[in-house]
Amino acid sequence: MRVLVTRPQPDAQATADRLAAAGHVALVDPLLLVEGLADSRLPEGAFDAVALTSVNGARLLDLRPELAALAALPLYAVGRRTAAAAPAAFGSVHVAGGDGLALAGLLRGRLAPGMRVLHVAGEDRAVDLSTELAPAGIGVDLFVIYRAVAAPRLRATTLVAAREGRIDMAFHFSPRTAATLVALAGDADAMGAFAQVTHLCFSAKVAAPLVAAGWPTRIAAAPTEEGLFALLGG
């Protein structure tokens, strides 16, 4: 299969390498650039747990001076990849099932009413942990340490491959990258070309912008990279 990978680097290349090892051809076009926010400040007060909902947040937290004050807390990660990228300083790590709702469920099961969670995240988030945990009486404070900036255009190699029918499938890991692909394809007058691609998605939320564009989508049984790879053989 010829597969388009649009997630940010360095994850895009890691996925491309895995595709190549499995005998597929990967075309990498990162549609988001991750930028750390050095001026962000840790909310005041004490916390009972730290929550991470992205690999980028996990990596950038490892570079933050605030890490020393947080490492004694239990860490709750959205999935295995985020947990693997998390700072080694955390001694207690709990791993959810791969998406924000699963993480919220894990936190509700482990924390008591009145406890407070620090959600380390980016400016754009797939889940609002505050809304999900409020009925359980668990407070959530945001610590936004990065932003993802959309690419201004698709790479020329991507457009040529799409127009020539040389992309069979595309991997989609987030609503933001899916929506960015739709927007940039529209700008390039290439909506029809990408309608010939089967778009493999982490979840229905990720698929929503693609469905709205009229593009064929398939949703992974689990919101993991393994789930996307399983769709390649289906």
Mind listing the pLDDT tens digit of every residue in the chain (234 residues)?
Answer: 999 999 998 889 999 999 999 999 999 999 999 999 999 999 999 999 999 999 999 999 999 999 999 999 999 999 998 999 999 999 999 999 988 899 999 999 999 999 999 999 999 887 899 999 999 999 999 999 999 999 999 999 999 999 999 999 999 998 999 999 999 999 999 999 999 999 999 999 999 999 999 999 999 998 888 999 999 975
Helix (H, G, I), strand (E, B) or coil at 117: strand
CB atoms within 10 A of CB 95: 19
Q: Who contacts 65 (Cβ-Cβ below 8 Å, separation ≥6)?
A: none
Task: Report the C-alpha dihedral over residues 59, 65, 68, 73, rounded to 10 degrees.
Answer: -60
Q: Which long-range contacts (CB under 8 A, 24 or more apart) does 212-216 make?
A: 212/182, 213/182, 213/185, 215/182
Please give the model's pTM, rounded to 2 decimal places. 0.75
Q: Which helix (H) or strand (E) holds 55?
A: helix 55-61
Q: Fold for domain 2-31+151-232? A: Rossmann fold (3.40.50)
Cα distances (Å, whole numbers) of residue 134 to 105, 114, 128? 12, 10, 10
Chosen CATH of 35-148 out of 3.40.50.10090, 3.20.20.140, 1.10.3720.10, 3.40.50.300: 3.40.50.10090
In 3D, which of 66, 110, 106, 107 has the Cα closest to residue 89?
66
Cα distances (Å, whole numbers) of residue 208 to 179, 193, 199? 8, 18, 11
Q: Which helix (H) or strand (E) holds 88?
A: none
φ and ψ at residue 177, rounded to 5 degrees: -70, -35
pLDDT of 36 reads 95
pLDDT of 177 reads 94
In 3D, which of 162, 180, 184, 160 has the Cα closest to residue 172?
180
Residues of the chain with CATH 3.40.50.10090: 2-31+151-232, 35-148
How far is it, in rounded angstroms, from Cα 75 to Cα 51? 6
